[in-house]
Structure 1
Amino acid sequence: MIAKPTGTAARLIAAIDTGDLARAEALAASLAGRCGLLKVGLELFCAAGPPAVDAVARHAPVFLDVKLHDIPNTVAGAIRSLLPLRPAMVTLHAAGGAAMIAAARAEAERAGAERPLLLAVTVLTSIDAATLAATGVAALPSDQVLRLARLAVAAGADGLVCSPQEVALLRAALGPAVALVVPGVRPAGSVSDDQARTATPAEAVAAGADWIVLGRPITAAPDPAATAAAIAATLPP
């Protein structure tokens, strides 16, 4: 399994969010050495499939953000299919329940020491209290995050994907061993895009994030590599 990061650049995960494999490869090449991992999400994976993971993995370990959410047997089968790609991390939805997460963990264990970290997504960073209520969940986002986080970790998740606003809460509740990967991070002065619960990279790391995920602020910049280096320089040691 991938170890927790040491050094500021190692904390960065750049999201290669594009459906164009050639552009993905170019971005991955330009960011090699500037980030700890590169994220292959649904847009790229749906467009190009496993070859996208292979292409990006030539430049950095892959955070495979496919947010699996189905019955336990199906999710276990999906993990089994993904293991040959050797991603460093794979995401699944905590809302899928304890049995689903346990099934994923059991399947991942087949890869032994090379298995990916299993990261449970709690509440998406685009969801605020009103949006959550519209789905039938009356709890505040922070309360729902903590509920799902405890469920996921107890069922075998190695870590969590959470918004910057819940990092300190989860670190205090779950301790230092749980890996926290934090999207919804935006450099000071940048637009929030479709993220509802954000913080700056430095704020997220200071609160306890192990890795921070940035997409458009890096990949849409004129010089993605220089932008990644500048963001890393703002992080606390």
Structure 2
Amino acid sequence: MNEFMNDPKIDPKIIVALDYPDAASANRLVTQLDPGLCRLKVGKELFTAEGPALVSSLVEKGYGVFLDLKFHDIPNTVAKACAAASRLGVWMLNVHALGGRAMMAAAREAVDQAANPPLLIAVTVLTSMDRQALNDVGLAGEVRSHVLHLARMADECNLAGVVCSAQEAPLLRTEFGNDFLLVTPGIRPADASLDDQSRVLTPAAALRNGASHLVIGRPITQAADPLAALHRIHAEIQNF
């Protein structure tokens, strides 16, 4: 049982992205971190390599796990996937809002039937995509207009929130209020590389913009001392 998941006074805003190829690499980092200061994100590469057993082991270590698989398929398939994910004891999972209302509604119903329902959120527009990238796939117009439209659909389907860029967070916070979760990738301390992200902000700036949780990968995972890097970011945002 994850003691931190059930303590309302402990709600780490930092989600460390475990972007590793195997469990051994991921666990070397995890043993250096603190579940009172962060949660963990398991994405497609690590989940494909190691499967549900790794997720369960992270939960058993006391970490809240965000299962970031961006389910996007026909409603019945997504509902069954969300039900299976819920049984792993994850703190949060996501679907892709481009799957549409019926898919998101089916996912919501499946999660609600779990013994311990995780938070269910939706991806809006990937933070690696800018206006030109959207135009290339036939979605004309500003990024923010697509983000707002997809977030509104997620809200209408009673999802807990969305994944979005911190640059769109002010718009969404104003639109949906304080209870709507805004999980923001593309977070980089001021001295860090942008890597493959196009729309990024620092941790403090993201929280000022209205983000509720920050997904941070390489600035922590590739640091010489990951726990020290986590503590530095935590100190930067502790007053938010």
Where structure 1 has 5 or more consecutive residues not aligned to the other structure, the ranges are: none
- CA positional deviation for 1:6: 5.7
Distance, in Å, in 2 between the alignment partners of 1:152 and 1:221 is 35
Report if aligned partners of 1:75, 1:100 keep a CA contact under 8 Å in 2. yes
Q: Does 1:74 align with 2:50?
A: no
**Structure 1 residues 200 and 3: alpha-carbon distance in aligned structure 2, compared to 1, 3 A threshold:** farther
CA contact (8 A) 2:56 2:89 kept: no
Residue type at the aligned position of 2:12: A
The Cα RMSD (Å) is 1.7
Give the distance between the partners of 2:72 and 2:58, measured in 1 at CA: 24
The match for 1:211 among 198, 210, 213 is 213
TM-score by structure 1 length? 0.94
Q: Closer, same or farther in 2 for the Cα pair 1:171/1:5, shift >3 Å?
A: farther
CA distance in 1, matches of 2:94, 2:37: 19
Specify the alignment match of 1:90 in structure 2.
Answer: 93
TM-aligned CA deviation for residue 43 of structure 1: 1.1
Q: 1:181 is matched with which residue?
A: 183
Judged with a 3 Å threshold, the aligned counterparts in structure 2 of structure 1 residues 6 and 179 are, in CA distance, closer, same or farther, namely farther
Shift of 1:140: 0.6
CA distance in 1, matches of 2:7, 2:35: 16
Query: What residue in structure 2 maps to residue 40 of structure 1?
Result: 42
Question: Alpha carbons of 1:210 and 1:42: their partners in 2 closer, same or farther (altered >3 Å)?
Answer: same
**Equivalent in the alignment of 2:165:** 163
C-alpha deviation, 1:35, in angstroms: 2.9
Q: Once the 2 structures are TM-superposed, how far is the Cα of residue 3 of structure 1 from its aligned partner?
A: 7.9
* Secondary structure of the corresponding residue to residue 172 of structure 1: helix
The answer to which of 20-29 and 123-132 deviates more is: 20-29
Correspondence 1:23 to 2:25: yes
SS in 2 for 1:30: coil
* Aligned-partner residue type, residue 97 of structure 1: G
Deviation at 1:59, TM superposition (A): 3.7
**AA partner of residue 93 (structure 1):** H
User: Within 5 Å, which residues of 2 pair with 1:50-199?
Assistant: 50-57=52-59, 58-112=61-115, 114-199=116-201
AA partner of residue 114 (structure 2)? A
Measure the CA separation in 2 of the matches of 1:74 and 1:161: 21
Query: 2:225 — aligned with what?
Result: 223
Equivalent pair of 1:72/1:100 in contact (CA under 8 Å): yes
Aligned amino acid, residue 134 of structure 1: D
Greater Cα offset, 211-220 or 21-30: 21-30
For the residues of structure 1 that align with 2:133 and 2:8, how far apart are their CA atoms?
Answer: 33
Aligned counterparts of 2:98 and 2:236: Cα–Cα separation in 1: 34
Identity %: 45
Aligned length: 234
**Does the CA contact (< 8 Å) of 2:188 and 2:200 recur in 1?**
yes
TM-score by length of 2: 0.93
Aligned 8 A contact 1:4 1:179 in 2: no
Q: Deviations over 1:138-178 (max 9, x none)?
A: 12111100000001110121111000100111000111111
Structure with higher helix content = 1
Residues 1:108 and 1:160: Cα distance change in structure 2 (over 3 Å): same
- The gaps in structure 2 that reach 5 residues or longer are none
